[in-house]
Structure 1
Amino acid sequence: MAYIETENARLFFEQTGPEGAPDIVWVGGGGTKGRDWQRFQTPHFDAKFRSTVFDNRGIGLTTSQAPMPWTIEDFAADVAAIIRGACGGRKVALVGSSLGSAIIQQVMIDYPALVRVAVLMGSGAWSTGWGWDYQEAEIDFRKKGGRLDGLMSVTHYAAMLYPARALGDRELWPKLKALMLEWMEDDSNETSLIPQWDASLRFDQREALKTVRVPAHVFAFEEDIEAPPQDGEELAALIPGAKLHLLAGMGHGSWYGHKHEEINRLIERVVT
């Protein structure tokens, strides 16, 4: 097991792919571990790229004694430490989803010299409207002692992550259900929800993103309920030179067991 020690965290990471190949660092969203990228993403890239995955603070084998609430800047500092410690400080491609994308956006703001290109999936420049209400409701539910378990949690989050065509696919749904059950039985989502989602709820990068000069690709999913495509459109408009990719028939979690092959091909194209 490999760790990077910082003043405020002990960061667990893993690497695959050839030494000396171009680096991709994968940044997970709320409730996801680094290993989640290893199921559907990194095997596609391991022949040509070195992939680094890690657990954000608040989940998995990464630990932090820093007082909460943690900010998006705290999470971005962790990513910078990963790049410096695991990738030798070389410029890397950063790929993220949801909260992971927001973290990458902050890395682009605070540590632009570390980023070669960024892929931002299912993201926005700030939390507002439906996105704010949804996240605040989840956090408040946990603060009052609530939790989601078993099939109830699976159906709740599946409806947030996948489009109707995927949920209604009688061959695909059992596979997605098994993936979701595995995730929920691990209990990581429940333990990480408040510390990670609070940062996702409260960030606002709208002004700072206008100063970014890092090449960026925004993947907005046309049927994304958690981060509606308007959020991605706004994000791409704020980052100078960013390219918007509006992906039809996909939802917030389509990278995980739904349209991952199509998404991987697009990621490979834009980071090469």
Structure 2
Amino acid sequence: MPRFSGSSASIAYEQTGSGPDIVWVGGGGTRGRDWQRFQTPHFDPKFRSTVFDNRGIGETACDKPLPWPLADFADDVAELVEAVCGEPAFLFGNSLGAAIIQEVAIRHPQVVRCAILMGTGAWSTGWGWDYQEAEIEFRRRGGTLDGMMGVAHYASMLYPAKALGDRELWPKLKALMLEWMDSGENEASVIPQWEASLRFDQRDRLASVRVPVHVVAFAEDVQAPPQDGEELARLIPGAEFHLLQGMGHGSWYGHAHDEINRFLEGLLNRHL
């Protein structure tokens, strides 16, 4: 992957397709290439997609001491957009990636053509806070979640019950999850990335956002319940809230990606 040297990180990225720019911002434990399996092939005929590894995972390198606040992740994205896109871009993100984009919209609105935020909220709270804090503490005590134990743990957090119970789909999802577990990327990234996800709270600054924003929630999302997305949309002037039925936090990856891609493309077309 090519590299861009930002102010505090050397960012590994890749571009495919041609047309208006989309920048895909990954969630915790995911690499830029993960978008290339189910998303960018759909968009490449009409858009230029930029994927990249967030700091804390993959080939992107950052020597700045931990912890990294969410603002650092957002600065990386803004610098990358300005360097390799050359114009405001559509920003897509899920989970931590969506939280990063919110921070970009607050701090660097000049790089945002439209922000599409999936599976997120305005802050980390309630069960989501406890879940992330428990995972971080588990790693600090030397625990790991890998192999089928990791698959069993994370699959229930990412996919709705109907998908897990689908006897044809589940083996495919299991293979995807095992590939993720075997890569070791999630284990390596939990502490550097999830600290930012755990401790962010943008509620008092979202009223300053002036770029177009779409908040997309999934009705069966355990990690980011739909009410979190509704709250987020209320706090951003002019933001639109969309609820997709029958989907979970990770349905964009191997479950309902075709339906999600068509829906996202419809949102993009409104802002061309």
Query: Is 1:67 aligned with 2:83?
Result: no
Question: How far apart are the structure 1 equivalents of 2:30 and 2:155?
Answer: 14
Query: Is 1:5 aligned with 2:2?
Result: no
Q: CA deviation at 1:271?
A: 1.2
Counterparts of 1:162-177 in structure 2 under 5 Å?
A: 162-177=159-174
Query: Is 1:231 aligned with 2:228?
Result: yes
Deviations 1:162-207 (A, max 9, x none): 0000000000000000000000000000000000000000000001
Aligned AA (1:219)? V
- Which of 25, 31, 38 is residue 36 of structure 2 equivalent to? 38
Secondary structure of 2:205 counterpart: helix
Aligned AA (1:12)? A
The residue number in structure 2 matching 1:80 is: 78
The residue number in structure 2 matching 1:112 is: 109
Question: How far apart are the structure 1 equivalents of 2:2 and 2:236?
Answer: 34
Secondary structure of 2:208 counterpart: coil
Secondary structure of 2:139 counterpart: helix
- Unpaired runs of 5+ residues, structure 2, are none
Contact 2:6 2:80 in 1 (8 A): no
Aligned AA (2:43)? F
- Which of 77, 91, 94 is residue 91 of structure 2 equivalent to? 94
- Unpaired runs of 5+ residues, structure 1, are none
Secondary structure of 1:51 counterpart: strand
Q: CA deviation at 1:122?
A: 0.2
Query: Is 1:198 aligned with 2:192?
Result: no
Question: How far apart are the structure 1 equivalents of 2:129 and 2:163?
Answer: 25
Secondary structure of 1:95 counterpart: strand
The residue number in structure 2 matching 1:267 is: 264
Aligned AA (1:83)? V
Q: CA deviation at 1:211?
A: 1.1
Q: CA deviation at 1:113?
A: 1.0
Secondary structure of 1:210 counterpart: helix
Deviations 1:216-246 (A, max 9, x none): 1111111100111110010011111111111
The residue number in structure 1 matching 2:23 is: 25
Aligned AA (1:10)? S
Secondary structure of 2:204 counterpart: helix
Question: How far apart are the structure 2 equivalents of 1:73 and 1:248?
Answer: 32
Secondary structure of 1:207 counterpart: coil
Aligned AA (1:15)? Q
The residue number in structure 2 matching 1:242 is: 239
Deviations 1:130-180 (A, max 9, x none): 010000000000011100110000010000000000000000000000000
Aligned AA (1:193)? V
Identity rate, percent: 69
Deviations 1:1-46 (A, max 9, x none): 311102311000000002xx10000000000000000000000000
Question: How far apart are the structure 2 equivalents of 1:245 and 1:67?
Answer: 38
- Which of 208, 211, 215 is residue 211 of structure 1 equivalent to? 208
Aligned AA (1:179)? L
The residue number in structure 2 matching 1:49 is: 47
Contact 2:92 2:115 in 1 (8 A): yes
Q: Paired residues, what number?
A: 269
The residue number in structure 1 matching 2:15 is: 15
Secondary structure of 2:242 counterpart: strand
Structure 1 vs Structure 2 CA RMSD: 0.6
Deviations 1:56-115 (A, max 9, x none): 000000000001000100000000111011112x01000000000000000000000110
Query: Is 1:133 aligned with 2:130?
Result: yes
Question: How far apart are the structure 2 equivalents of 1:115 and 1:214?
Answer: 7
Question: How far apart are the structure 1 equivalents of 2:109 and 2:10?
Answer: 23
